Amino acid sequence: MIQYTVEKRINPMDKLNPKFYPKIVRAATLQTDEIANLLQSRTTLDKSEVYSFLKAFANAVQFLITHSYTVEVEGLGIFTPAIKAKAVDDLGDLTAKTILKKGVNFRPTAKMTTRHKSIGFEKANLDVEHI
């Protein structure tokens, strides 16, 4: 069950007609130690082995992404390297310097996406937020 509240947003192009949207109320984030406990309880491995796995997993993703590889993780999703670049008028001006940012995109598995279609929602008893 996901809790939501209502948020008021003002469009700078149409300030006289604000709109109201549902906004997620985030619960506390699960930290690495809690994740290790959960993974340990679901496997036959001990906690130090789970930590070793998590560290190696992070290293593997970092290595592959920075070598321009897409990374598929069964059960979780796909990590894809991405760049943000500015457009130029002349081909001669198109160099590596036009790349403004390097990053990574993530797409969950189809199974996870389908599973999330049946999530229930509950309105939290909070005041409308203004942004």
Determine if 125 is a binding residue for other proteins (CB under 8 A): no
- What is the C-alpha separation between 10 and 130, in angstroms, rounded? 8
Q: Is 30 an interacting residue with respect to other proteins (CB under 8 A)?
A: yes
Angle in degrees, 0-180, between the axes of helices 32-41 and 47-65, rounded to the nearest 10: 120
In the complex, what is the shortest distance from the CB of residue 23 to other proteins, in angstroms, rounded to a whole number? 7
> How many amino acids of this chain bind other proteins (CB under 8 A)?
89
| Per-residue contact string for residues 84-123; x = within reach of other proteins by CB under 8 A | -xxxxxxx-xx-x-xx--xxxxx-xx--x--xxx-x-x-x
The answer to the question of residue 126 lying near other proteins (CB under 8 A) is no
Q: How many CA atoms lie within 13 A of 53 on its CB side?
A: 14
Distance in Å, CB of 17 to other proteins, minimum:
7
Contact (Cβ atoms closer than 8 angstroms) between residue 65 and residue 104: yes
Residues 6 or more apart in contact with residue 68 via CB below 8 angstroms: 81
Check residue 47 for interaction with other proteins (CB under 8 A): no
Applying CB under 8 A, which of residues 10, 14, 16, 52 lies at the interface with other proteins?
Answer: 52
